[in-house]
Structure 1
Amino acid sequence: MTHPQDLPGTSTAGTALALTPLDELRTALAARLSPQARDWLDRALDEAAARPGTHGPLSVWELRLAEAGRRCGAAHADAARVLILHAAQADPDALTRVYRQGTADERRAVLHALPHLVPGPEAVPLVEDALRTNDTRLIAAAVGPYAARHLAPHPWRHAVLKCLFTGVPVDRVADLARRARGDAELARMLGDYAAERTAAGRPVPEDLHRVLALAGTEPGTGAASGTGTVPGTASGSEPGTAPPPGPEPAPHGPVDPHGKES
């Protein structure tokens, strides 16, 4: 069961929003809201359930999505928006409209809501769009359980590298261990990325060694070359060993490491 401390404002917020049964999410959120905010959320959910269709140029529930930050507070707005989207029974077309027209906060809520609302791959283009940005909160939401289920192997590998490049912790990548295990192509890509950074005199992200340990084709193997190490790691050290000390400052205006404009 999700507890109130697992809601937005913690490092596990995105995972909790995407995986928690919605009745539990509503109970946990209500425990953290003020009485006035709870009343507003109850009305918004009733409105969304009663009028899930359009109402003028915007549906009523879309207007409530825009109000959620002001009514519930920024720390709880993602959870409120996920509940409103579900109450409105938003289909892929509606989710796409909200994503395209909404703010970054509303886009993030759509990504968190996907596992609750879209059983198939119809919303993959929204995940792919978020992964082309350099907004780390959008990227973290995009690599949740919906991507784990539906993103094809090649774009999923690039999503992992995008997390490494932008500093999104790989803990945010849902189902990482299963999807990375024994993936020789991912291991090759990680090795190439590590070599590029080492050649440029830049440290290798610590999380890279963790993913490489999962992706190695044999137990204890590092890069796909079979040497058991990656550039920037002392010879003979294990793949999970941390790279040179000290975190690298986040780059200003990053560009995707594989040559694609973000």
Structure 2
Amino acid sequence: MIHHRTPTDLRGHLNTQLAGDARAWLGRALDEATDRPGPHGPGHLPAWELRLAEAGRRCGTEHADAVRVLILHAAHADTDALTRVYRQGTADERRAVLHALPHLVPGPDALHLVEDALRTNDTRLVAAALGPYAARHLAPHHWRHAVLKCLFTAVPVDEITDLTRRAPGDGELARMLGDYAEERTAAGRPVPEDLYRVLALTASPPADEIGIDGKESKES
């Protein structure tokens, strides 16, 4: 998963995968983002934001997410810049912003982007939203509903970072899963296999008493 790889790892991987022209373009784009991260003038986007739109065409769609994450990292994009890119960008650019959050935002200031992605029915955005940033900062209530959202939209629960850390001992999540399974059964619909996997996790004791942002959890 891209959000589990450091920018250094991503750059090394791309250096081995990109053809010469694409690799040269990436180098120029990263230098540009590093040297001139800010806008050129009133009403003008920073040059690195324009490069985000070119990433797929220049480096191939299979590498575009990693390229965009590297550009955002090189530009040291702050929460305001990430929000602007997310709001104005394509679904692909939004996904890259979500992947970049763990590398660029140390606190919960960008949670509004995660929450927005989780309100969509774009399964790739939902999966990207549930990376390490959400694992660390998303509050228990919202995190539980995100788990249910994965079941609703058939996003594999393997996409949820730290599921095996957060689910154990979560009685409220177990209740929600049980209610959902009952609703599906009553409607004559199959219960997703992933639901039983998560439900089994909730039956395990919690691994520790540390909650969101490293604070002691006050929930039972």
Check whether TM > 0.5. yes
Shift of 1:128: 0.2
Aligned length: 204
Does 1:159 find its partner at 2:151?
no
Correspondence for 2:174 among 174, 187, 198 = 187
Aligned equivalents of 2:6, 2:85: Cα separation in 1: 22
Does 1:21 find its partner at 2:17?
no
Task: Give 4+ residue runs of structure 1 displaced > 6 Å after superposition.
Answer: none
Q: What secondary structure, in the 3-state scheme, does the structure 1 residue paired with 2:17 have?
A: coil
Aligned equivalents of 1:87, 1:72: Cα separation in 2: 17
Q: What secondary structure, in the 3-state scheme, does the structure 1 residue paired with 2:149 have?
A: helix
Residue matched to 1:66: 53
Aligned equivalents of 2:99, 2:31: Cα separation in 1: 21
Asked whether the 8 Å contact 1:184–1:217 carries over to 2, the reply is no
Does 1:117 find its partner at 2:104?
yes
Larger Rg: 1
Residue matched to 2:136: 149
**TM-score, reference length from structure 2:** 0.91
Aligned equivalents of 1:55, 1:171: Cα separation in 2: 42
Q: What code does the residue aligned with 1:75 have?
A: E
Asked whether the 8 Å contact 1:136–1:166 carries over to 2, the reply is yes
Residue matched to 1:246: none
Aligned equivalents of 1:43, 1:180: Cα separation in 2: 43
Aligned equivalents of 2:176, 2:59: Cα separation in 1: 42
Aligned equivalents of 1:162, 1:150: Cα separation in 2: 18
5 Å matches for 1:26-41?
26-41=11-26
Aligned equivalents of 2:186, 2:14: Cα separation in 1: 48
Does 1:135 find its partner at 2:122?
yes
For residues 107-165 of structure 1, the C-alpha deviation after alignment (integer angstroms, 9 at most, x for no partner) is: 00000000000010000000000000000000000011100000000000000000011
Residue matched to 2:65: 78
Aligned equivalents of 2:189, 2:45: Cα separation in 1: 48
Asked whether the 8 Å contact 1:61–1:84 carries over to 2, the reply is yes
Q: What code does the residue aligned with 1:144 have?
A: G
Shift of 1:55: 2.0
- For the aligned residue pairs, the C-alpha RMSD in angstroms reads 1.2
Q: What secondary structure, in the 3-state scheme, does the structure 2 residue paired with 1:31 have?
A: helix
**% identical aligned pairs:** 76
Structure 2 regions of 5+ residues with no counterpart?
A: 206-220
